[in-house]
Structure 1
Amino acid sequence: MQLLVRNMTEEYAKQILNWKYEAPYDFYNNEETSESLNELLDNPYYAVLNPDNELVGFFCIGNAAQVPFGSKVGAYDEDMRDIGIGMNPAITGQGFGTPFFSFILSYIQETYGLDAIRLTVANFNQRAIHLYTKLGFVKKMEFNRDSTKFITMVKKY
């Protein structure tokens, strides 16, 4: 899978905000509002495209990748860069997760030269947790926000 990283644009952001996932992944569905659009455009979000310039996913780095409530319970006390990812629901569950996330991890490592990277995932998302574990992430902490349990995971380079 050949992929390209591009800066987030309003067009890409609108596509992402209108993606609709099937249950239980509908937890990740968004609504296109001025606030959600600004979130994607004003923070370090990047579009991931295939060679046909079709949007296959996105990633974000830094505080934008954190679940805000996690800071209140110490989930992000360790000084480390965070990453968040999302894949077009039209191609999830088809075996593209490993090449997609491996590409993003390589891009981030080449760009930032990190010692470690952290992500936060909803506990019910076993498909993603399996992928993250396969790519070297280790569970660090759990916390609850309302009825959702989250896990932080860390990969050391």
Structure 2
Amino acid sequence: MNYKLRRVTNEDVEDFLTWKYGGIYSFFDNDFSQGKIDYVKSFPNDNNVFSVYSDKNELVGNCAIYLSDKVTFSVQLRPSLTSKGLGKEFLTSILNFIKERYNLKTIGLSVLKFNERAIRLYKSLDFKVTNEFIGKTVKGEMEFLAMEKEL
């Protein structure tokens, strides 16, 4: 499948706000807290947040780029598409887009330590663990891994 990234629309946001992951992954539901809802609603105003569409023009995910001394990113895949073997191609498309648009040599991310399926995906794409830390979340302090990859 070929994925395309484009600016987030208000219609995309309305769709994102319905995404529910279930089980331990319900932590990532987009309506989990008012803070999360407000964050998702801000996407159309951020030039570094993108919707991800399939080659059939279906909204399948989103990606946010955070520009600071180390450039990092976050992604979401539509809940109904998780655990179907799509992650590697989905993430590779996003990484290629980021590399071209931002002209980067490396990219980083932070992942909750309990999110083993995401960690497996990142490692399969040559992300390396660079640090472990405790970070603040809407559920209190939690354990994270910092990971980085050469582009």
What is the aligned partner in structure 1 of residue 72 from structure 2?
A: 82
Give the Cα–Cα distance (whole angstroms) in 2 for the partners of residues 133 and 57 of structure 1: 20
What is the aligned partner in structure 1 of residue 145 from structure 2?
A: 151
One-letter code aligned to 1:85: V
Q: Could you tell me how far 1:42 is from its partner in structure 2?
A: 2.5
Unaligned runs of 5+ in 2: none
Contact 2:7–2:44 (8 Å) recurs in 1: no
Contact 2:30–2:40 (8 Å) recurs in 1: no
DSSP-derived class of the 1:24 partner: helix
One-letter code aligned to 2:62: F
Contact 2:66–2:72 (8 Å) recurs in 1: yes
One-letter code aligned to 1:53: N
Give the Cα–Cα distance (whole angstroms) in 1 for the partners of residues 43 and 18 of structure 2: 13
Corresponding residue pairs, total: 143
Give the Cα–Cα distance (whole angstroms) in 1 for the partners of residues 41 and 54 of structure 2: 24
Q: Give RMSD over aligned pairs.
A: 1.8
Give the Cα–Cα distance (whole angstroms) in 1 for the partners of residues 141 and 95 of structure 2: 30
Unaligned runs of 5+ in 1: 64-75
What is the aligned partner in structure 1 of residue 65 from structure 2?
A: 61
What is the aligned partner in structure 2 of residue 9 from structure 1?
A: 9
DSSP-derived class of the 1:41 partner: helix
TM-score (norm 1): 0.84
One-letter code aligned to 2:39: S
DSSP-derived class of the 1:35 partner: helix
Give the Cα–Cα distance (whole angstroms) in 2 for the partners of residues 111 and 147 of structure 1: 33
Contact 2:16–2:40 (8 Å) recurs in 1: no
- Cα displacement string for residues 78-119 of structure 1 (whole angstroms, at most 9, x for unaligned residues): x22111100000110000000000010011111112011010
Contact 1:3–1:50 (8 Å) recurs in 2: yes
4+ residue segments displaced more than 6 Å: none
Give the Cα–Cα distance (whole angstroms) in 2 for the partners of residues 59 and 141 of structure 1: 22
Counterparts of residues 47-126 of structure 1 (less than 5 Å): 47-62=51-66, 79-126=69-116
Give the Cα–Cα distance (whole angstroms) in 1 for the partners of residues 49 and 141 of structure 2: 27
Q: Could you tell me how far 1:7 is from its partner in structure 2?
A: 0.5
